[in-house]
Amino acid sequence: MAHAEPVTPPQLSAPPRRSGRRSSVRSWRRSDQLIWLLAWLAGTGLCVAVAAIVTFLAAKGISDLNPTLLVTRPSVSLDQSHSGGFLDPLIGTLTMAVIGTLIATPIAVLSAFWVVEYGRPRWLAGIVETSIEMVAGTPDIVFAIFGLALFQLGFFAPLSFRASGGGVYGRSFIAAGIMMSLLALPLTYTATRNGLRATPRQLREASVALGKTRIATIRRVLLPNVRSDIATGATLGMGRIIGSTAIVVLLLGATLQNNSQGNVPLLGFLRGTGSTLTSYIFENSPSGEGNAPQKAYAAAFVLLLLVLALNGLVARISRVGAAGAVNAGRLSL
Amino acid sequence: MLDRLRRPWSDDRAERTLGAIACLAAIAIALMVVFVAQRAWPTFQREGLSWLGSGGNVDSQLGSMAFNTSAHPAASAYHLRAWPLIYGTLLTSGFAVIFGLAISLLTAIFVVDLAPPVLRRAMTPVIRLLASVPSVIYGLIGILVLVPFVGNDLITSGQKESVVNVIQLTGAGLLVSVAILTLMITPIMTALTIEALASVPRSWHEGAVALGLNPLRATIAVSLRAIRPAIVAATALAAARAIGEAIVIDMVSGGKAFTPKPWDGLIFIYEPLRSLASTIIDQGENLTEPAIRSSIYAFALLLMFSGFMLSVASRLIRRPLRKYELSS
Amino acid sequence: MLNLHVLSPTLSLNGARPQMRRPRRYIAPLVVIAALVAVPAIAYAATTISMSGATASFPLLELLSAKYHQLKHGQVSFRISQGGASVGISDAAAGRVSIGNSSRPPQAGDPSGLVFYPIAKYFVCVVTNPANPVSNLTTSQVQQIFTGKVRNWSQVSGATATGPIDVYSRTSVAGVLTTFQNTLLSGSKVGSFATQEPSEGLMQNSVKKDPAGIGFLSDYFALAKGINAVGYNGTGCSVANVVGGSYPGVSDFYEVTRGPATGQNEAFIYWIESSAVAKKIIESNWIPLGKIQPAIKTP
């Protein structure tokens, strides 16, 4: 070559656009147009419904809620509209959440570990998985009825109290808490099991290569790894417990104030009867006798805030957990 | 002794202990079935399966059973015929699941495909929030807003007069029950469907579009078909929830054990009814009377088995669909 | 030689040393605290009296039990549930509760071996919504409305409401229903078309909300604000007329025990029957009996 001309690369046409123009709805078949319209209606309808419910509850709740309601005990009378707050139901809700989660989380986590890590004999693992699925699908009211039948046995008399005629009352915070743990169990179990299944094999293999037994691996390696999944599951379970009403109405005695049983401080409270926010709302609605819709709205608003807070917590934990999992090489982004 | 527990456990002992703990769930289910069945036995013993049939006014039957204060009622005291309650449960749950399925599928398509990105990002946490709202709040809205609205504005005086000798139309009835129940179960189904739809590989959808389908049709023909097992599972979960919902139905269904008759025309949707679960809550304080107790436990047995049957059925339906399955 | 068995519990993946000695430090103080708490608790031995039954006497029993609890310095506490008079009776008979509350005297079909202690008098009024302030109904009017022969307000003189009558009644476990049917309905039964409410409170709610509603309530609920109590055959439904003897819809509240009352149950019932404090509480909304009436035993 005599002179070196700069070599220009061949001219390509412009790179193809990644997203092509969407076909116009007008050109579709009639049935597709109908479905498009219905989908838009459903979506916007749901948005409108959500907005309506939340603003309605917020408006009613804020107008009826004053902070003293949160710290006053309910007045001891059928007619709730004149005085009294809902401190006792609030304490009841928090107690239920704590007891139920405390009982359910260890059992769910340990069961998940057994099923995923050991799981022998196979038929037993299948039975456990099926049972937990059945527990997930059982209605709340069946748990409540079962709890009544179970805790009215003489054997469980220390959990509530025994009437002078010999019958066991069967309703107390402990009784309701144990049944509530059955509500939270499947959620925590599923979350932990999914987290365990997503842990890479290499983690376990490395631990075994270092000479650890399987139980030590579980305790020192896997457990810290699925911490965020366990937290997510536990929080989901807590949300479900807070929202249940049927178990409370049948198993907690539905007294307006929390009445302790006996004189031992904490144990007496747990053995006694009480109410939660959900049963308080039920009692104060027109289908209960409290006759105080404003209190019901206020309590509903507080309950909604609690649920919102729990949801936010779940979102944050799973985001933090996802970040942690990325670091551990579980998720690749 | 504490020292022995603190020493490192052998794998065998750990496996056995963990296995024992894991069996607690199975034991709980077994106990539940045993207890509920044992308490429900007297009804089956005296009435066989005929108590599932119809005959007579359930309210008055329950009333006379509760009135019977003796410790060992005669066999004739167990004369409950629960069909109106079963019918009420099937009506409300059936309609709610059908409407909920339609709305949740459409909403899922909307959120994943049609919504502008801002709306899509906003709607997902919102739907999850709706799914976790306690049912008693929905019942509160139903009874304080919808029931007066239906009773005062939708039901005309003429309609009330036409049934005045049989029942009283107060607004609490089939319409409000189905509306609130649908509102309750749709967010759960929608959330699960959206999660499943989002996990379908985008390339499948793009392939369908490349073959000439419009985007909406591609979603329906490809993505929705791919997540059929998830839809079946979500529907079974929602149906179990709807059947067992006691508090909400107790608040908005009118509490009268009446069988709404479709051939009554428009009044059909205003007629009061009662479901199995709401009867259990209603009779909660009467549970100590032996005749009522065995009937109520029989209802609970029925509800428990429908829950089990739903999960078994959903598994059976999902099995042949597994070849298309992407996510469980 | 390295003894790995000794080393392994003290090493973990991140190298931190687990603290094994801590649990021992906690145990002794915990045991002492538990003992300190348990011993006085056992020494106290407080009693709980459980009650169930009539919804009409529930407000009265709540007031009485709260006062008694105070007077006994917290040694006796109460668990009161409702359910209706028949439920209280059968619960007491089966030993499920200590005392049953009843708003009706014993009748055929009640379990045997029970003792009914009368504690107060109450009365039943027909009630309507305040938007429909019917001031008086005759026996035949009341009978026709509640048995379903008359189904429209336009056929009822003195009523301002129009349209069909919404009749509210009670479930059959209610003692107030028995009283109402025996006295004001002269033995007829309420028709099956009526909506049945399980408690006084719910009946009151229903009639308050429904301008076309009519029902019947015990005096505590009927004379409350927001509801209209209807006169009967020219006699107003009030305490004065009951004490004077001109109003017929009267019955007693009973406390029911299995066998003669013993121990704390007996002390409580005797206190209600004889103390001036209890009489003052009863006078607030109901009618005291004057002197201790004899108990009724079921055969």
Report the complex ipTM. Answer: 0.85
Lowest mean pLDDT among A122-136, A268-282, C39-53, C109-123: C39-53
Cβ(B239)–Cβ(B93) under 8 Å? yes
Band of the pLDDT at A103, cuts 50, 70, 90? very high
The model's confidence at residue A322, banded by pLDDT at 50, 70 and 90, is: low
Contacts made by residues C12-19, CB under 8 angstroms, sequence distance 24+:
C12/A220, C13/A207, C13/A210, C13/A220, C13/A221
- CA–CA dist B82, B62 (Å, integer): 10
CB contact under 8 A, C46 and A207: no
Portion 157-176 of B in contact with C at CB < 8 A = 157, 160-161, 164-168, 170
Closest C-alpha among A90, A267, A280 to residue A161: A267
Q: Which residues of chain B lie closer than 8 angstroms to C131, CB-CB?
A: none
Q: Do A249 and B247 touch (CB under 8 A)?
A: yes
* Alpha-carbon gap, residue C3 to B150, rounded angstroms: 80
Note whether residue B222 is domain-resident. yes
Q: Which residues of B touch C20 (CB under 8 A)?
A: 6
C interface test, pick of A78, A267, A279 with most C CB neighbours within 10 Å? A78
Q: Which of B19, B107, B217 sits opposite A32 (nearest CB)?
A: B217
Tell me whether A305 touches chain B (CB under 8 Å): no
CA distance B159 to chain A (A): 24
Choose among C38, C48, C95: nearest Cβ to A167: C95
Residue A135 near residue A186, CB atoms below 8 Å: yes
More confident residue, A32 or B51: A32
Buried b / exposed e over C163-188, threshold 16 CB at 10 Å, is bbbbbbbbbbbbbbbbbbbbbbbeee
Look at residue B96 and tell me whether its pLDDT is greater than 90.
yes
A165/C224 touch (CB, cutoff 8 Å), yes or no = no
A105 to each of A110, A132, A191, A270, B18, how far by Cα in Å? 8, 14, 11, 19, 14
Mean pLDDT (chain B) is 82
pLDDT at C87: 85
Residue pair A320/A228 in contact by the 8 Å Cβ criterion: yes
C35 or A156, which is more confident?
Answer: A156
Q: Which of C151, C173, C177, C189 should we substitute to test contact with B (largest number of B Cβ atoms within 10 Å)?
A: C173
Higher pLDDT, A80 or A115: A115
Residue B285 to residue C82, Cβ atoms within 8 A: yes
- Closest partner residue to A124 (CB to CB) among B14, B19, B134 is B19
* Residues A69-324, CATH architecture: Orthogonal Bundle (1.10)
Rounded to whole angstroms, how far apart are CA atoms A277 and B281?
Answer: 18
Nearest residue of C to residue B169, measured between CA atoms: C166
Residues A193 and A143 sit within 8 Å (Cβ to Cβ): no
Provide the CB-side half-sphere exposure for B33 (13 A, CA).
Answer: 12
Structural domain includes residue B76: no
Closest of A95, A98, A58 to residue A304, by C-alpha = A58
Q: Is the dihedral of CA C209, C215, C219, C223 positive or negative?
A: positive
Domain harbouring B51, CATH code: 1.10.3720.10
Q: Are C194 and B255 in contact (CB under 8 A)?
A: no
Which of the four pLDDT bands, split at 50, 70 and 90, describes residue B67? Answer: low
A167 and C92 within 8 Å at the Cβ level: the answer is no
B71 inside domain = no
SS3 for C81?
strand
The residues on C that touch A, with CB distances below 8 Å, are 8, 12-13, 37-38, 40-41, 44, 46, 48-50, 58-59, 62, 66, 77, 79, 81, 91-92, 94-98, 199, 201-202, 204-205, 209, 224, 258, 263-265
In chain B, residues with a C-beta closer than 8 Å to the C-beta of A58 are none
Interface residue C148 vs chain B (CB under 8 A): yes
Q: Which residue of C has its CA nearest to B254?
A: C195
Q: Domain ranges for chain A, please list them.
A: 30-64, 69-324
In a domain, B143, yes or no: yes
A179: nearest CA partner in chain B? B28
Residues of C in contact with B270 (CB under 8 A): none
- What are chain B's partners, defined as 3 or more CB pairs within 8 angstroms? A, C
Q: pLDDT value at position B75?
A: 63
Region of C11 on the Ramachandran plot (φ > 0 left; ψ -120 to 50 alpha; else beta)? beta
How many residues belong to chain C? Answer: 299
pLDDT at B148 over 70: yes
Per-residue pLDDT tens digits for A50-95: 888 888 888 888 887 777 777 777 766 656 666 677 788 888 899 9
Taking contacts as CB-CB distances below 8 angstroms, the residues of chain A near B216 are: 28, 32, 35-36, 39
What pLDDT is attached to residue C24?
A: 64
Chain A residues in contact with B236 (beta carbon < 8 A): 137
A218-248 tens-digit pLDDT: 888 888 888 888 988 898 899 889 989 889 9
Instruction: Please state, in angstroms and rounded to a whole number, the distance separating the CA atoms of residues A236 and A185.
Output: 10
Strand, helix or coil at C124?
strand
Contact predicate B169/B155, CB 8 Å = yes
Structure confidence at residue C143 (pLDDT)? 92
Residue B319: Cβ-neighbour burial (10 angstroms; 0-12, 13-18, 19+): exposed
Give the pLDDT mean for B45-66. Answer: 72
DSSP secondary structure letter of residue B227: T
The answer to whether residue B72 sits within a structural domain is no
For residues B261-277, average pLDDT: 83
Q: Which residues of A touch C50 (CB under 8 A)?
A: 161, 163-164, 169
The more confidently predicted of residues B40 and B96 is B96
| Strand, helix or coil for residue C18 | coil
**CB within 8 A of B223, min separation 6: which ones?**
B112, B197, B200, B204, B205
Instruction: Give CA–CA dist C100/C82, Å, rounded.
Output: 10
CA distance A270 to chain C (A): 15
Token pair 């009523």: residue: C159
Collect all residues of chain B within an 8 Å Cβ-Cβ radius of residue C89.
69
Cβ–Cβ of B277/A297 closer than 8 Å? no
**Hey, are the CB atoms on B66 and C87 less than 8 Å from each other?**
yes
Residue from A123, A189, A192, A287 to probe the interface with B (highest B Cβ count within 10 Å): A287
Category of C45 on φ-ψ map: left (φ > 0), alpha (ψ -120 to 50) or beta: left
- Mean pLDDT throughout B132-142? 89
The percent of residues above 90 in pLDDT, for chain B, comes to 12
Query: Per the domain annotation, does B135 fall within a domain?
Result: yes
| B54 located within any domain | yes
CA distance to partner chain B, nearest, from residue A269 (Å): 23
Q: Chain A partners of B240 at a C-beta cutoff of 8 Å?
A: 137-139
Structure tokens at B149: 């609205």
Q: Which pLDDT value is given to residue A333?
A: 38
Q: Which of C240, C244, C214, C242 has the alpha carbon at shortest distance from C228?
A: C214
CB atoms under 10 Å from CB of A23, counted, come to 15
Task: Give the residue from B67, B76, B166 with the most C CB atoms within 10 Å of its CB, the best one to mutate.
Answer: B67
Total count of domains within chain B: 1
For residue A327, is pLDDT > 70?
Answer: no
Residue B286 and residue C83: Cβ atoms within 8 Å? yes
Section A148-176 average pLDDT: 80
Q: What is the mean pLDDT of residues B266-291?
A: 81
Query: What is the structure's pLDDT at A188?
Result: 93
Contacting A residues, span 159-178, partner chain B, CB-CB under 8 Å: none
Whole-number pLDDT of residue A13: 62
**Cβ partners under 8 Å of residue C44, min gap 6:** A263, C75
* Minimal CA separation from B156 to chain A, in Å: 23
For C15-22, which contacts have Cβ atoms below 8 Å and span 24 or more sequence positions? C20/B6
A55 interfacial to chain B (CB closer than 8 Å): no
The pLDDT of residue B239 is 92
Enclosing domain of residue B52: 3-64+81-327
Across chain C, which has 299 residues, the per-10-residue mean pLDDT values are 41 48 67 67 66 90 89 84 86 87 88 90 92 89 90 87 87 88 89 83 85 90 88 88 88 91 89 90 88 79
Give per-residue pLDDT as tens, B23-32.
888 898 899 8
Task: Please judge whether B63 and C96 are an interchain contact, meaning their C-beta atoms are less than 8 angstroms apart.
Answer: no
Separation in Å, CA of A237 to nearest CA in chain B: 10
> Per the confidence metrics, is the pTM higher than 0.95?
no
pLDDT of A314 reads: 84
* Cα atoms in the 13 Å half-sphere on the side-chain side of B170: 26
B73 domain residue, yes or no: no
Q: Assign A170 a pLDDT band (cuts: 50, 70, 90).
A: confident
Residues in chain A: 333
Task: List chains touching C (3+ CB pairs under 8 A).
Answer: A, B
Predicted local confidence at residue A178, as pLDDT: 92
Q: Does B79 touch chain C (CB under 8 A)?
A: no
For residue C13, what pLDDT is reported?
A: 47
| CA distances, C124 to each of C141, C193, C236, C239, C296 (Å) | 16, 21, 12, 11, 22
